[in-house]
Amino acid sequence: MAKNITSSSSSTQNLETGTKRTRDSTLDEINSNSTLKYKKEILSLMFNQGQLSNDPKSSNKKRSNGKSSPNRGDNKDSLRERRKEMFPKRLPKSQHSFTSVAYICKGPDYKGKFDPLAAKALGLEPGPQYDIWMNKFGPETEHIIANEKYCPQRIIFYSSALSQLKMSKIDEQHFRIPYYSNEPIKQLESLDNIPKKASFAVPMMIYQTEPSFKLDMSQLGPVFDHNIESGKLLESSDDYLNIAEEVKQEVARSHSEAKNIPGKDVIITTLGTGSTFPSKYRNVSATLIKIPNNGFILLDVGEGTLGSMSRHFGPYDQPHDHHLGIVRVLKKWNEIHKGVDDATISVFGPSRLQKWLDEYSDVEDIGCSKPKNSMGINKVETVAVIHCPNSFGISIEHSDGWKIVYSGDTRPCEDLVRVVKGIQKYQYLPRVGISFDLIQVSIDELYKLPKFVKALKVLYADENEAGIEEDDNVYEEVYIEDEEDDNENK
């Protein structure tokens, strides 16, 4: 075991030679042979311990017996003195320097990804190389083709699509049947020299490698076909269909009591109405606002929003996903509308979101830019709401005279009440509406929402996910409250 190091207030014994050095000496005077022990002593002082033993067995034994070395220096004053003697002089202070250091890091070279559009623009013709490569594997090799043109775009969320189909019986315009296609755009048979064992990929297909190689189709869900499902619905849901038809006729006979209101043709589409996680019928939060002749605004872009947009609008329709889905949405939008000056999609969020998008754009171009004045927005105001950090509501005022306030997730919030105050100027517009994923409604058709409740209660009689109030008078109370408010204002 190493010898104990003794010290005094006036001098420090050299760790190896036993010679003395004064308090005015420097660390350079310690010879190279004692460097390791000196480092160990420094470490012992860092953790308020005495000399570190070179014998780990001895140290463990001492710890296991609960006894400490007589020179461990548990006393704070003793530790201070030892530090003073170990470090007789402070290191010189650093001086400010105007020199900056820059590093250039060069990674390994790698081959770029083939760009078919650029190849066509350069006049390159498709060649047989890929076909030759595929056929090199032999006739027993399974080839699975995953390509949007050669694979059917089937419905994955069967229950959600079936629910949407049922609601479409109330109003096909507001409750669209999700886009799908059970047949691919192109057939594999149209390809020349395709291997015999080639098939297209479908959702939930499994390729099994153990105990043998084979395709497993046991997890595939039922194939959704709204024509077939409508026939089944006619046979099993007479009560609902009768009420849906009754509500449909009632809505057709009614009309909006509030005509010529500002922003009447602004369309609100709730792409996701769920909470933190997707559920059986609802995706996480996302709302799309279409401003005719001005563009679109997304309020919340939860993960999976791009999928919701594809199911609602289809692959070729215009507008041709809280923020985790935003990159995929902007990337896809940029791909479709690249070079089109009047195509606009705006994202409003806290400054940290902008920094995040700017930094992402430095790596991959997703077409980010400042909001365009052509949208006709006069004022945008954000309000900190009572939720997790960096949660905000937003108020958007348009030059046409309409205003939309979006709360997002929040508990009752006085700052939000301040922004909303005075926004409801039309007594005949309902204050409350039940929303579902993929429902779209223009502002001048909001009066229809209360009329849908009667049929929706029957449709979701056995389900709690819809969250519909059981009180039939909920909307009557809202209208009465409107009238009372107007009388007081008069």
In a domain, 45, yes or no: yes
Is 60's pLDDT higher than 50?
no
Three-class secondary structure of residue 139 per DSSP: coil
Residue type, 34: S
Q: What is the pLDDT of residue 489?
A: 40
Out of 68, 86, 104, a domain closes at 86
Least confident range of 160-174, 226-240, 368-382: 368-382
261-276 pLDDT, tens digit per residue, is: 788 888 989 888 887 7
Out of 38, 65, 86, a domain closes at 86
Residues 6+ apart with CB under 8 A from 72: 49, 50
In a domain, 374, yes or no: yes
Q: Residue 375, exposed/middle/buried by CB under 10 A (0-12, 13-18, 19+)?
A: middle
Contact of 281 with 437, CB cutoff 8 Å: yes
Q: What is the pLDDT of residue 374?
A: 56
Write out the two tokens for 160.
Answer: 């959600």
316-337 pLDDT, tens digit per residue, is: 544 333 455 677 778 877 777 7
In a domain, 332, yes or no: yes
In a domain, 41, yes or no: yes
Q: What is the pLDDT of residue 372?
A: 53
Find the helix or strand (DSSP H, E) in which 362 lies. helix 351-363
In a domain, 413, yes or no: yes
In a domain, 299, yes or no: yes
What burial letters (b/e) apply to 348-359, b meaning 16+ CB within 10 Å?
Answer: bbeeebeeebee
Out of 380, 399, 425, a domain closes at 425
Contact of 77 with 83, CB cutoff 8 Å: no
**Nearest one of 357, 407, 353 to 382, comparing CA atoms:** 407
CA-CA distance, 459 to 440, in Å (whole number)?
19
In a domain, 142, yes or no: no
E strand spans, 229-353: 267-272, 286-291, 295-301, 345-347
Length of the chain in residues, anyone? Answer: 490
Q: What is the pLDDT of residue 259?
A: 65
CA-CA distance, 283 to 305, in Å (whole number)?
8
How sure is the predictor about 61, in pLDDT bands with cuts at 50, 70 and 90?
Answer: very low
CA-CA distance, 485 to 490, in Å (whole number)?
9
How many domains would you assign to the chain? Answer: 2
Handedness of CA 209, 211, 216, 221 (dihedral sign): negative
Q: What is the pLDDT of residue 371?
A: 58
Contact of 283 with 303, CB cutoff 8 Å: no
Range of the domain at 42: 11-86
Is 288's pLDDT higher than 70?
yes
pTM (two decimals): 0.55
Is 3's pLDDT higher than 70?
no
Residues 6+ apart with CB under 8 A from 476: none
Q: What is the pLDDT averaged over residues 336-342?
A: 69
Is 484's pLDDT higher than 60?
no
Give φ, ψ of 391 to 5 degrees. -105, 135
How sure is the predictor about 31, in pLDDT bands with cuts at 50, 70 and 90?
Answer: low
198-247 pLDDT, tens digit per residue, is: 888 888 899 888 888 888 888 888 888 888 888 887 777 778 888 898 88
CA-CA distance, 446 to 289, in Å (whole number)?
14
Q: What is the pLDDT averaged over residues 291-319?
A: 76
Q: How far does Cα 240 stand from its chain's mean position?
A: 37
CA-CA distance, 386 to 423, in Å (whole number)?
21
Is 14's pLDDT higher than 60?
no
How sure is the predictor about 21, in pLDDT bands with cuts at 50, 70 and 90?
Answer: very low
DSSP code of residue 281: S
Q: What is the pLDDT of residue 58?
A: 45
Least confident range of 150-159, 222-231, 312-321, 461-470: 461-470
Q: In Å, how far are 41, 123, 187, 276 from 129, measured between CA atoms?
A: 69, 17, 21, 48
402-434 pLDDT, tens digit per residue, is: 888 888 788 888 888 888 777 665 555 556 677
How sure is the predictor about 24, in pLDDT bands with cuts at 50, 70 and 90?
Answer: very low
Which one has a higher pLDDT value, 104 or 18? 104
Residue spans of alpha helices (H) in 377-448: 414-420
Residues 6+ apart with CB under 8 A from 275: 282, 284, 285, 409
DSSP code of residue 30: S
CA-CA distance, 222 to 383, in Å (whole number)?
45
Which one has a higher pLDDT value, 88 or 383? 383
How sure is the predictor about 465, in pLDDT bands with cuts at 50, 70 and 90?
Answer: very low
Contact of 45 with 83, CB cutoff 8 Å: yes
How sure is the predictor about 22, in pLDDT bands with cuts at 50, 70 and 90?
Answer: very low
Contact of 307 with 321, CB cutoff 8 Å: yes
> Considering all CA atoms of the chain, what is the largest pairwise distance in Å, rounded to the nearest integer?
108
Contact of 446 with 431, CB cutoff 8 Å: no
Question: Highest-confidence range of 70-79, 239-248, 339-348, 355-364, by mean pLDDT?
Answer: 239-248
Q: What is the pLDDT of residue 427?
A: 56
Contact of 296 with 329, CB cutoff 8 Å: no
Is 485's pLDDT higher than 70?
no
Residue spans of alpha helices (H) in 169-304: 226-236, 238-253
Which one has a higher pLDDT value, 35 or 461? 461
In a domain, 110, yes or no: no
Is 304's pLDDT higher than 70?
yes
Percent of the chain scored above 70 by pLDDT?
A: 71
The domain that holds 388 is classified in CATH as: 3.60.15.10
DSSP code of residue 400: T
How sure is the predictor about 75, in pLDDT bands with cuts at 50, 70 and 90?
Answer: low
DSSP code of residue 434: -
Q: Residue 430, exposed/middle/buried by CB under 10 A (0-12, 13-18, 19+)?
A: middle
Is 4's pLDDT higher than 50?
no
